[in-house]
A and B are shown apart, each in its own frame.
Chain A
């Protein structure tokens, strides 16, 4: 598998439900980041979690990182129609001038 694979590839849920997306990676990392992309637009940074951190919160977002399993999850609570987008995890290996390696993405659709 490639560095940074998300699952599921696509997820449809009802508005108000929680959405969980997972990301796996293969090599050691310095940090892992989650980005959101609306169709045809640029990537918007959501959360950065460092390799020595296990969990971070930002509003309705919760990210976990398990370096022993080389995996991360993004939880969006109380989903809204406006959360419909593609979500990507990206991993950085080097400290300073980090090249990000993006995953394949999860396409999230929130049904009103």
Chain B
């Protein structure tokens, strides 16, 4: 069964550094999402992406964040200048059609020191 794959599984970075989290969604999916989960807390929506543009973003998704789908397969989340509070699990998800389940990757654990 097709999977959503995320790399790296764990990223450690220093405060102020840029990080890029990568995702390869399922090939025939149309809608893409990034979520994050701070340790012990709920899963929070960051951004949705459809037709090569952002369709919705949350208050968390400020100017430090950006997303790209540069080559039609990879889907990336960039954090320009990481803060300690960006430490979390970041999940990529895809959706094949409206009103259908999301398929999540196993996440990237980001640790900002």
- A residues whose Cβ falls under 8 Å from a Cβ of B: 4, 30-31, 33, 35, 40-45, 48, 50, 88, 90, 92, 95-105
Contact between B44 and A48, CB atoms less than 8 A apart: no
Across-interface contacts of A103 in B (CB, < 8 A): 42
A101 nearest in chain B by CB position: B45
Q: Is the CB of B104 within 8 A of A43?
A: yes
Closest A residue to B50 using CB positions:
A97
Evaluate contact between A99 and B91: CB separation under 8 angstroms: no
Complexed CA–CA distance, A44 and B104 (Å): 7
Tell whether A42 pairs with B107 under 8 Å between CB atoms, given A97-B31, A97-B48, A98-B98.
yes
What are the interface flags for B35-66 relative to A under an 8 Å C-beta threshold, 1 for contact and 0 otherwise?
10000001111001010000110000000000
Residue of B nearest to A104 (CB): B42
Q: Are A97 and B55 in contact (CB under 8 A)?
A: yes
A99 touches B106 (CB 8 A): no
Contact between B104 and A102 (Cβ–Cβ < 8 Å)?
Answer: no
Q: CA A35 – CA B37 in complex, angstroms?
A: 14
Residues of A within 8 A of B99 (CB): 30-31, 48, 50, 92, 95-96, 98
Q: A31-B99, A42-B105, A43-B104 are contacts. A99–B48 as well, Cβ < 8 Å? A: yes
Set of chain A residues within 8 Å of B83, measured between Cβ atoms: none
Find the B residue at minimum CB distance from A96: B98
Q: List, in ascending order, chain B residues with CB within 8 A of A35's CB.
A: 104
Give bound CA distance, A33 to B43, whole Å: 14
Q: Which residue of B lies closest to A45 (CB)?
A: B101
- CA A76 to CA B71, docked complex, whole Å: 42
User: Which A residues are in CB contact (< 8 Å) with B43?
Assistant: 43, 88, 90, 102
Q: Which residues of A contact B35 (CB under 8 A)?
A: 100, 102
Q: Are A45 and B48 in contact, CB atoms less than 8 angstroms apart?
A: no
Tell whether, in the assembled complex, residue B98 and residue A97 are in contact, meaning their CB atoms are under 8 Å apart.
Answer: yes
